[in-house]
Amino acid sequence: MPYRYRVLLLLSVLSSFVAYAGRGHWVIDAFAANIAAGFASALVIVVLVDRAAERRQEEHRKRIERVALRQTRNPLLYLADALASLIKAASDAPLDPMPASYLQLFTKRYTDALDHARLSGQPGTMGVSTWYSHLQRALTGVSDQLSGVLDKYIAFVGVEFVEIIEDLRTDSFFLLLKNLETARAQLLAEKIDQEITLDQSASIRDPFFAKLSRLLRYFETTTGETMPPRHSIAQRCRAGDRKLAVASGIVNLNDSARSASENLIMPSMSGRPSKKLPVSY
């Protein structure tokens, strides 16, 4: 209880006791009861004013937290697209049933396909030759941007927001993907030409996707937006199929020209930002 509450409560009780004990005396009857009522009224008013101020402060904090969360939208979308692309590339067959959202995609039913991911393969992203490079670039950029949002708004966001972001950034599987290219380079430097795989990584992979899903749910609940915001998972998977095919030489580049207008407005499954939504990592 705040100090001012205790003082007003004590004065109210003492003045009430004096009014009761000294009843019959004209001075006590004239002033003590009114003084007791005044202290009691002051206590009620102070409590109501403080509660109103706390509500306004909490509303202000939540508004700033929504602003902070909206600034995590692009890195979250980039991360989700990169992981969705990896899951699609690792799957032996088309996703069935096709998930309607990232929350449905990032479940054990689909993420178990990562046991078979070939990280030395091409991700279908311009300027990146392997999944090692693509994942390290993507997750490093995501980690830096999420850290920047926390640094900027740490005085205003709630504890849960900070906890969710930091749990994701410091997760073992997240750090593994983030340092894939570095680990691969270290192996090659030691003349160990062995491919790194995600096989039997479910013990750290499943908690990571649970944390990512928690962050996506928190984002959707707080901001009222959904992920993905513009296109369904099915549309992204179809776009990803074509880009992976083009990268592999299965489809001639001239044949893909007809889908150029679509590619201008829709990010690829690899999470590379569109020309209308430039994001620097």
In tens digits, the chain (281 residues) has pLDDT values of 777 778 777 877 887 777 777 776 766 666 777 787 887 888 888 889 988 988 998 888 888 888 888 899 899 999 999 999 999 899 888 888 888 889 999 999 999 999 999 998 888 777 788 999 999 999 999 999 999 999 999 888 888 899 999 999 999 999 999 999 998 888 888 888 888 889 989 999 999 999 999 999 999 888 888 776 445 566 655 555 554 444 434 333 333 333 333 333 333 333 333 333 333 33
Output the six-digit token pair for 105. 């995609």
Q: Are residues 83 and 129 in the same domain?
A: yes
Instruction: With CA atoms as reference, report the closest residue to 30 among 12, 18, 14, 13.
Output: 18
Residues 20 and 99 in one domain: no
User: Tokens at residue 201, please?
Assistant: 């990584």
In the chain, the number of structural domains is 2
Distance (Å) of CA 95 to CA 9, 87, 90, 238, 256: 66, 9, 11, 11, 23
Q: Is 112 helix (H, G, I), strand (E, B) or coil?
A: helix
Q: Is 178 exposed, middle or buried (0-12, 13-18, 19+ CB in 10 A)?
A: buried
Residue 272 domain flag: no
Residues 103 and 53 in one domain: no
Instruction: Answer yes or no: is 84 within a domain.
Output: yes
Same domain? 134 vs 53: no
pLDDT of residue 168: 95
Same domain, 101 and 161: yes
In single-letter form, the type of residue at position 20 comes to: Y
- Parent domain of 169: 71-265
Same domain, yes or no: 258 and 149:
yes
One domain for residues 229 and 106 = yes
At 6 the pLDDT is: 81
Q: Are residues 245 and 134 in the same domain?
A: yes
Does 11 share its domain with 75?
no
| Domain match, 146 and 243 both | yes
pTM over 0.85: no
Please report whether residue 270 resides in a domain.
no
Tokens coding 175: 């750090």
Instruction: Please check whether residues 43 and 78 belong to one and the same domain.
Output: no
The reply to whether 275 falls in a domain is no
Residue 64 lies in a domain: no
pLDDT of residue 28: 65
Look up tokens 């999420």; give the residue. Answer: 146
Indicate whether 201 and 122 sit together in one domain.
yes
| pLDDT at 7 (0 to 100) | 79
